[in-house]
Structure 1
Amino acid sequence: MTRRIVWLVLLGLFLPIVGCSSSPDPADRFAAFADALQRKDAHAAAAETSDPGTAETAIKSMFDGMGDAATVKVSAETEDGDEAGATLKYQWSWGEGRDFGYDTTGTATKTGDDWRISWAPTLLHRDLRDGLKFQYSTDSDLQTPVLDRTGQPLMTWQTVGVITLDRARLDSAAPLAALLAPFDASTTAESINAQFASNTDDRVTVMKLREDDLDKVRDQLGQVPGVTVTEQGELLTTDRQLSSPAIGGLAQLWHDRITKAAGWSVYLVDGDGAAAQRLASTPPAQTDPMRTTLDLRLQLLAQQAVNQEARPAVVVAISGSTGGILAAAQNAAADPQGAIAFSGLYPPGSTFKTITTAAALEAGLATPESPVACPGQLTIENRTIPNDDDFDLGTVPLASAFSHSCNTSMAALSDKLPADALTKTARAFGIGVDFTIPGLTTVTGKVPNADTAAQRVENGIGQGTVTVSPFGLAVAEASLAHGSTVLPSLVDGDKVTADTPSQPLPAAVTSALRDMMRKTVTEGTASQLSDVPDLGGKTGTAEFGDNTHSHGWFAGIAGDIAFATLVVGGDSSAPAVKISGDFLRSAG
């Protein structure tokens, strides 16, 4: 007959041990030992043994080797007629179906009136012996690549060299900086010293180099006192020129995928970490490449286009047919401001006239052929709206007022709209919608209700309280191309959600807008791009601050590419138009 005693700790409640006396019997000792192991209390478990010091070291090593994420349940069974012996049952778990169980045995010895568990490594596992320790590890398929939408590798696991400097050898900062400056001109002796000044670490990481770059200076680095080079693996872009705020979150998504599919193993290893015995293992599951919506070719072309501009510049391109993000590029001048391509909010200026015109068309206030006045200035509720340089077109069709970016015509239409008209229309195009996109943090924009005439006319020309991000404006263009609110995505198969259901856009409205945007390119404010096939767009200049400077915008649709281009402080739409042209012409 077996007498089984299982000890469990739950919510801090310690179950009393029945039958305790001033001198615990072997069953009590094994019970306390098992209970302490479940709590990962190495000191308490070791105290139940004949050699607490040695036992505590071994038990701590077991917990360290199994990892912080491990949980363990331990039970002890004693046999009638063998009061000095027990079977210990271990059940380890790391979650996700990663479980490892085994039995081992132990004995207790009596010295005087006191029983103690006879310490031996086999108390922890029947095959454990002096000089060996536990090691739990995961086995991930690190060769799983991140692909662009065409199947081209976008990111792969690569070797990098981590270059560190010892605080005791600050005199090496200058020669180290001289070796590394060709890879990053901002690395100087002063910058290295500043790193040490900002913390108390004995060593600081000065730079990480790709393997081919490391090979160029490996020997020289080895001759600089205090410098250490450690090689490790990292997920890197396949093209060193590839830089995008859309890529930053891909590494975590990739890591989550391969971790979920990872295999695992438990080994007994020697002091050098060499495997002595495999105790349990499961191979990694098949992990398919992580395919993104990005287009490597378009991304590099967009990057080249923004890099020609000295001021902060951004291009975001989205597929009108799928909503997939094709490219998101921002230049070095923009990078210090953060991921402004996706979360920077700016007044959209006249690019917002696409939304204003859509609201007016849907409300029946006008058609593309309707005659509208385009005076040089228009005053509504003490707010004077001027055209650029006060140009005056007289009375022209709405399509002409749109293509020549007539502020006064749009202001007059905005004044006739309800307070929430622009808010609702913008949301139908995706501006103001909160999207949850795995791998990205995005903000599309804000279009508050306009309760006064002055607010309506200012918002109607993309000033006032209206703000958009380049991403949000690109979403609006993609929605126009799609005919309904798109769900922008970054990784195939990952679920994207929105706080507003997708809304269909009236076909008559989208058709009219596409025609007017094409007219803007063929004979309006973006005629510099008339050679780009099938391009339709809208220019925008948005004042900010003290109104002495402006942001420059251009947004549009060319084939399946819906895009928005921003030059922060561009002072006109011309720089954004040029960047867009460079991008689209090279994209073909």
Structure 2
Amino acid sequence: MLRRAAGLLFVLALVLAGAACSSPKDDGTGTAKALAVALAAHTVGALAFDQPAAAVQRELTELSRGIDPVWPKVTVDGVAVKDDGTARISLGYSWTLPNVAKPWTYTTGADMKRNGDGWTISWAPDMLVPRLEAGERLKISTSYPHRAGILAADGQSIVKDRPVETLGINKDGLSEAVAAASAKALAAVVVVDPAAYLAKVKAYGPVAFVDAITLRQEAYDALDQAKLKDIKGFLATPGTLPLAPSRTFAQAVLGSVHEATAEDIKKSDGKVSAGQVVGGSGLQASFDNQLAGTPGVTIEAVAGTAATPAPGATAPSATEAAAPSADATTSAKILFTQAPVDGKDVKTTLVPKLQTAAEDALADVKTPSSIVIMRPSTGAILAAANGPDSNGYNTAFLGQYAPGSTFKIATSLGLFREGMTPQSTLSCTPEYTADGKKFLNAPGYAVDAEGQIPMTVAIAHSCNTAFVSQYKNLAQDKLADAAGALGIGMTSDLGLDAFMGVVPRDSAGTAHAASMIGQGKVLVSPLAMATLMSSAVKGAEVVPVLVAGRDAKAKPAEGPAVTAKEAEGLRTLMRASVTEGYLTNLADLPGAPAIGKTGTAEYGTDNPPRTHSWVIAAQGDIAVAVFVEDGDLGAITGGPLAKAALEAAAGN
């Protein structure tokens, strides 16, 4: 008896325990939350619908496929349960769309009916997007705005849409062998990597057009048209691209554009789509967002698969579901749209006439080279030309070279601050030994300019020993301060990367002595030296400007600013270079008196060493810096280039 009673008590305990552990009756909230999760993941899961789960899943999959990878976040905003055992779920949607600043948000609703302790959801497409009907599918499309141009200082377009031809092979109707032969032939005519292009042709489908190269119209017209015509499957398709007047015009500054690659699209985090033109380098890249504008985005409900099966009906196969409905409407229903916003022009300070003249002057220079022309009163960069042997590199802005004797202008400022004037005498000897290192003057230095000479003569004839001999009288940090007062070492946001020079503050001994004549560890760019000259002309530190109206957020280098009196003394020194020194070729220029300074900087390990050739010059409100990486003395190589630049700038 006792054993039987104990068994009954144990069974009762199990029953009570089971009742205590069972889930409470769902008040609708649990099912609503599960529905939000399912819709956000476009996966039905274990939810109960009034249609077969496979049919609902197919519908969700097809809807998401048409808009992938975009898909919304879904939340439950509320559940209203009625006395008749039905309930209405309020769902909140938030879509993060490419190139749309604010999320697209809205609310929808879903109905469900009590089913025992759970709920059965009534499937309807409009629970996903209002007005979405059975058989419709979502489609996202992008409309591209007009890409803006890059303008010259006068507001005229430098970069604008110009005609191009895209050349390639149309594989339609060609055997693999013929397509391969055509690829090799085309690669030879347009000079592209034959192996790479052949691999590209083989990888494309049997009826694809496989592009090889896009050329300016004039470059295409210059090709051997007869050879192109003989290539089976050859096709040239016309189009336009935003381009400069010529292939080389300010190439490193303006940059290039191209159709977005897979890498571009991946890096953009959804901001760039296939087919979009993007900046690849130069101003086209650094101002890409401004130039490109904002693409338009449209989400539509379009005729797609057959209508969702009625409750209890057999779900269609995947093939049937993907087939268009015979009675589907062809008109699209716009659910969301944002119009494209055209890009905004980037106005530069460049003067095309001067840019072209500077590039023409460098056309025959067989080593990296540059000419920078600036307006000292405003800092505007009027031209930034790089020679053909710079091979697309922006030598003007990014080159890092010893400035040689052009740096003696900064050294002279430092000596002014130690009490000297343009008339102060310096000792110019054939050689001078500083901390065990022997310094010499340039080969062919005029003997009649040796001895105790005024600083004007020392600058005019560029006596190295006269300036090196003062290294103990001008501390390295004060030399760096003087260079900084003329713009060397400043930091500013030009809109493109630029090296504004460096003068170490801790150089000592031989390195300090070498710094006095722009050697040692002193490094500058042509832009930095044009800035130095501009600052001497203006009598205040000049901040270079490339993009009109741009705040460069400039920060000067350490040290006191240059004064008007100091700058006047520097101009006096540089006028002597023209009247009695190495730049007499500038003396006959009409207009305001020209000033300047030559420079020759040794580099490398050759014996005799190779030399950089420099000239800085100015006339009126024009300052010029000329650089040739592997040249003769500054006056010989750089002098004629500086004169050509100043002549071109006359009246500008």
TM bucket (normalised to shorter chain) is 0.7 to 0.9
Q: Which moved more, 1:99-108 or 1:414-423?
A: 99-108
Are the equivalent residues in 2 in contact too, given 1:192–1:206 (CA < 8 A)? no
* Residue in structure 2 matched with residue 298 of structure 1 by the alignment: 354
* Residue in structure 2 matched with residue 387 of structure 1 by the alignment: 441
Deviations 1:336-385 (A, max 9, x none): 6x322211211111111111111111221x21112222222222222211
Q: 1:541 and 2:543 equivalent? A: no
The CA deviation at 1:284 is 5.1
Distance 2:228 2:60 in 1: 43
Question: TM-score scaled to structure 2, two decimals?
Answer: 0.75
The CA deviation at 1:151 is 0.8
Please tell me whether Structure 1 or Structure 2 has the larger radius of gyration of its CA atoms: 2
Unpaired runs of 5+ in structure 2? Answer: 1-20, 256-281, 305-323, 325-329
The CA deviation at 1:410 is 1.3
The CA deviation at 1:568 is 0.9
Question: Quick one: which amino acid aligns to residue 43 of structure 1?
Answer: T
Distance 1:20 1:524, change over 3 A: farther
Distance 1:268 1:433, change over 3 A: same
* Pairing partner for 1:372 from 400, 420, 426: 426
Q: 1:332 and 2:388 equivalent? A: yes
> Secondary structure of the equivalent of 1:432?
coil
Q: 1:31 and 2:33 equivalent? A: yes
- Spell out the pairing of 1:142-161 with structure 2 (5 A cutoff): 142=147, 144-158=148-162, 160-161=164-165
The CA deviation at 1:192 is 2.5
* Residue in structure 2 matched with residue 567 of structure 1 by the alignment: 628
Are the equivalent residues in 1 in contact too, given 2:618–2:646 (CA < 8 A)? no
> Secondary structure of the equivalent of 1:468?
coil
The Cα RMSD (Å) is: 3.7
Are the equivalent residues in 2 in contact too, given 1:477–1:556 (CA < 8 A)? yes
Question: TM-score scaled to structure 1, two decimals?
Answer: 0.82
Distance 1:57 1:231, change over 3 A: farther
Distance 1:45 1:527, change over 3 A: farther
Unpaired runs of 5+ in structure 1? Answer: 1-18, 181-186
* Residue in structure 1 matched with residue 288 of structure 2 by the alignment: 255
Distance 2:25 2:238 in 1: 56
Q: 1:448 and 2:481 equivalent? A: no
Q: Which moved more, 1:26-35 or 1:562-571?
A: 26-35
> Secondary structure of the equivalent of 1:207?
strand
Q: 1:482 and 2:535 equivalent? A: no
Are the equivalent residues in 1 in contact too, given 2:138–2:299 (CA < 8 A)? no
The CA deviation at 1:403 is 0.9
> Secondary structure of the equivalent of 1:489?
coil
* Residue in structure 2 matched with residue 176 of structure 1 by the alignment: 186
* Residue in structure 1 matched with residue 194 of structure 2 by the alignment: 192
* Residue in structure 2 matched with residue 346 of structure 1 by the alignment: 401
Are the equivalent residues in 1 in contact too, given 2:161–2:242 (CA < 8 A)? yes
* Residue in structure 2 matched with residue 209 of structure 1 by the alignment: 215
Q: Which moved more, 1:50-59 or 1:213-222?
A: 213-222
Distance 1:46 1:224 in 2: 60
Deviations 1:183-219 (A, max 9, x none): xxxx15xx22256679996597532223565588899
> Secondary structure of the equivalent of 1:333?
helix
Are the equivalent residues in 1 in contact too, given 2:539–2:568 (CA < 8 A)? no
Distance 2:217 2:122 in 1: 53
Question: Quick one: which amino acid aligns to residue 284 of structure 2?
Answer: A
Distance 1:208 1:156 in 2: 16
The CA deviation at 1:387 is 1.0
Distance 2:491 2:248 in 1: 31
Question: Quick one: which amino acid aligns to residue 140 of structure 2?
Answer: Q
* Residue in structure 2 matched with residue 459 of structure 1 by the alignment: 515
The CA deviation at 1:79 is 2.9
* Pairing partner for 1:244 from 251, 262, 277: 251
Question: Quick one: which amino acid aligns to residue 35 of structure 1?
Answer: V
Are the equivalent residues in 1 in contact too, given 2:67–2:140 (CA < 8 A)? no
Are the equivalent residues in 2 in contact too, given 1:156–1:236 (CA < 8 A)? yes
Question: Quick one: which amino acid aligns to residue 267 of structure 1?
Answer: E
Aligned residue pairs, count:
552
Distance 1:115 1:515, change over 3 A: same
Are the equivalent residues in 2 in contact too, given 1:411–1:461 (CA < 8 A)? yes
* Residue in structure 1 matched with residue 645 of structure 2 by the alignment: 583
- Spell out the pairing of 1:251-330 with structure 2 (5 A cutoff): 251-258=284-291, 264-269=297-302, 276-283=332-339, 288-330=344-386
Deviations 1:290-322 (A, max 9, x none): 211222221111111111212221112222111
Distance 2:221 2:397 in 1: 36
Distance 2:126 2:165 in 1: 41
Deviations 1:476-516 (A, max 9, x none): 12222232222222222322123436963121211111122
* Residue in structure 2 matched with residue 79 of structure 1 by the alignment: 80
Distance 1:222 1:114 in 2: 73
Q: Which moved more, 1:464-473 or 1:497-506?
A: 497-506
Distance 2:163 2:116 in 1: 62
Distance 1:389 1:278, change over 3 A: same
Q: 1:523 and 2:530 equivalent? A: no
Distance 2:217 2:22 in 1: 64
Are the equivalent residues in 2 in contact too, given 1:33–1:48 (CA < 8 A)? no
Deviations 1:229-253 (A, max 9, x none): 6677643224444133221232134
Q: 1:134 and 2:195 equivalent? A: no
* Residue in structure 2 matched with residue 558 of structure 1 by the alignment: 619
- Spell out the pairing of 1:45-60 with structure 2 (5 A cutoff): 50=53, 51-60=55-64
Distance 1:194 1:79, change over 3 A: closer
Distance 1:397 1:567 in 2: 30
Distance 1:75 1:260 in 2: 36
Distance 1:120 1:456, change over 3 A: same
Are the equivalent residues in 1 in contact too, given 2:354–2:649 (CA < 8 A)? yes
Distance 1:230 1:110 in 2: 63
> Secondary structure of the equivalent of 2:433?
strand
Deviations 1:109-143 (A, max 9, x none): 7899975544443332233343542315365343x
Distance 1:201 1:583 in 2: 51
Question: Quick one: which amino acid aligns to residue 595 of structure 2?
Answer: G
Distance 2:534 2:142 in 1: 45
Distance 2:184 2:130 in 1: 56
Distance 2:471 2:284 in 1: 45
Q: Which moved more, 1:488-497 or 1:94-103?
A: 94-103
Are the equivalent residues in 1 in contact too, given 2:293–2:342 (CA < 8 A)? no
- Spell out the pairing of 1:430-445 with structure 2 (5 A cutoff): 430-438=487-495, 440-445=496-501
Question: Quick one: which amino acid aligns to residue 79 of structure 1?
Answer: A
Distance 1:158 1:278, change over 3 A: farther
> Secondary structure of the equivalent of 1:90?
strand
Are the equivalent residues in 1 in contact too, given 2:578–2:585 (CA < 8 A)? yes
